[in-house]
Amino acid sequence: MTTYTSRQDVPNNEKWNLEDIYSDLSKWENDLHLVENMAEKLRQFDGAITDGKSLYQYLKQREELSYTFNHVYAYSMLRVDEDTRDASSQSLLDRAKGLSVKVSASTSFFMPFLLGLDKETLSSYIAEEEGLTYFEEDLYESFRYKTHVLSKDQEEVLSQLGEALSAPSTTFGMINNADIKFGDVTNNNGEKVQLTRGMYSKLIEDEDRDKRREAYKAYYKPYIELKNSIASTLSAAIKNNVTMAKIRKYPSALEKGLFGDMVPKEVYENLIKATKENIAPLHRYSEIRKSKLQLDELRQYDMSVPLVQGVKQVIPYEEAYETMIKALAPLGEEYVSILKEFKDARYIDVRETPGKRSGAYNLGIYGVHPFILLNHQDDLDSLFTLAHECGHGVHSKLSSQHQPQITARYSIFVAEVASTVNEVLLINYLLNTEKNLEIRKHLLNHFIDQFKGTFFTQVMFAEFEKITHELAEKGTPLNVEVFNQTYEALFREYNGDTVVFDEEVKFGWSRIPHFYRPFYVYKYATGFASAIHLATRILDGDSETLQSYLTFLRSGSSDYPLELLKKTGVDLTTPEPIENAMKKFSELVEEFSVL
């Protein structure tokens, strides 16, 4: 594997080219000052919007400001992510963050003003100013929230409580990221060392079961020690959410969480119901895992170890890119040409270097192009990450090309569809072309485990959120016992009787940051199921599905997420996409069981 001690050593063609945003720093400085001036001008509209013309002028200038500000912010963020230790880049980002506060302050008057209008007045403004037709849908979308917005004075009070209401999330973040100290594990020299998260992700996959068990116990130790503190932060977060839903006149906290994407609660409930009705293959996979590991008892620390040992593929970046292009050929020539452009025009930052931000992401910048950050390790995981992020990247590029700025950004609800379609096409290609039986088994194992983590685990989390919020709505006290009982019952239901439960299992709720961002994780599961549904049809040669999928990638947020997906043939208001995904999972498990 290629390792670099410095960013300077990485070849230019494996580094993104930020000059596509600003060719030199003076242009960034100019735009920073330009946005400051634009923000000052926007302030002057406070109290001065009295007709269609002034409303149009405000919205037009706000969009121009947004366009330039996004460039200023993105450039400084990408610079920092190249090397988080670099003080000059950090200084640019600090200034961009300061600018963000000024921009927010200059536009904060607008939403209370807009929702203070009656619908007839807004309609008359739109009728008298032709330019407002561009903003019309957005304006009426804001009006959807009118019944859930309070008086100006009440909104002012709530905005001042914002920091206090986010305290449970902030507190958990500090416990989880700054204060937590894991237990000790034994290193290769037989010495006791403190476990870190990075070590845990490797040790929980170790062939040595004693090492896995030791790491598992050490990982859960602080969460169990801090159980009462964490239970109180999670309880407060849930109660805050329930209270805000009541104050804003939503029927329930769940419906408040789904309102923005206009998703009926039946979609959420249907996801859970259809998953549980088709859970048998997941239980079957636990039995296969127990058998292949030749264990008397299967425990939670046995759930992540790869079932096919000794298959360490080295896949250099150039080879990974070629493999991805071949795998995604079913998506057509335009799609493949965009992928080639990503590489040739340096949209991707490939290599891990000291100080570089960890992980991977895609950032689409309207008016420029997407930028993709990787930390490529020349292995199978990195190949899948490449295909995943390029899925987001092509989605960003096509939406930006085919949508005006106002609808170019797509919602998180549909974001994971494009990335997962790529992963399904990739695994299909690898399985069809791989002759080595052990590698085929390894590929199947890899995809089954990914399916489990991205779909089943997220549905289980989604059900935990639903149950705990409903308990709070009934006035049931939330504490360690309630969380433990709820989580353990769900874990047993989803994982089946094959798994023998350690004491730690029921404390799983205590380590999940997503629970502080309520009713969000279900989107991973719906996105994954939608992608399985689409990729299967595309691989079957269904040209109508392919064309509707490419149209979906060009659609940004030009319609609500469920409607965009319906146009591709995926209707999440029915059980069909979930059942199709379950069928695919069952096929993968069966194929793996006979290899």
345 φψ region: left (φ > 0), alpha (ψ -120 to 50), beta (else)? alpha
Cα 402 to Cα 409, 550, 567: the distances in Å are: 11, 11, 17
Give the containing element (helix H, strand E) for 595.
none
Residue 194 makes CB contacts below 8 A (sequence gap 6+) with 181, 182, 183, 184, 185
Give the containing element (helix H, strand E) for 363.
strand 361-364
Residue 138 makes CB contacts below 8 A (sequence gap 6+) with 406
CA 424 to chain CA centroid, Å, is: 18
- In 3D space, the residue among 95, 87, 78, 77 whose CA is nearest the CA of residue 33 turns out to be 95
Written as six digits, the tokens of 168 are 């449970």
Q: What is the 3-state secondary structure (H, E, C) of 463-522?
A: HHHHHHHHHHHCCCCCCHHHHHHHHHHHHHHHHCCCEECCHHHHHHHHHCHHHHCCCCCH
Work out the burial of residue 244: count CB atoms within 10 Å of its CB; fewer than 13 is exposed, 13-18 middle, 19 or more buried. middle
**Distance, CA of 521 to CA of 459 (rounded, Å):** 8
The type of residue at 251 is: P
Dihedral sign for Cα 36, 37, 43, 45, please. negative
Written as six digits, the tokens of 377 are 């390790």
**Distance, CA of 518 to CA of 257 (rounded, Å):** 7
Note the residue count of the chain. 595
Q: CB of 514 within 8 A of CB of 169?
A: no
540: how many CB neighbours lie within 10 A of its CB? 8
Cα 366 to Cα 21, 118, 338, 401: the distances in Å are: 10, 33, 16, 9
**Distance, CA of 280 to CA of 427 (rounded, Å):** 23
- In 3D space, the residue among 511, 485, 6 whose CA is nearest the CA of residue 222 turns out to be 511
Alpha helices in 345-411 (DSSP H): 380-402
Dihedral sign for Cα 584, 561, 550, 391, please. negative
- In 3D space, the residue among 391, 413, 341 whose CA is nearest the CA of residue 550 turns out to be 391
- Backbone phi, then psi, for 312, in 5-degree steps? -110, 95
**Which one of 214, 389, 416, 465 is the catalytic residue?**
389
- In 3D space, the residue among 472, 377, 477, 386 whose CA is nearest the CA of residue 425 turns out to be 386
Q: CB of 383 within 8 A of CB of 450?
A: no
**Distance, CA of 25 to CA of 19 (rounded, Å):** 9
Among this protein's residues, is 389 annotated catalytic?
Answer: yes
Dihedral sign for Cα 374, 375, 378, 379, please. negative
Residues with catalytic function: 389
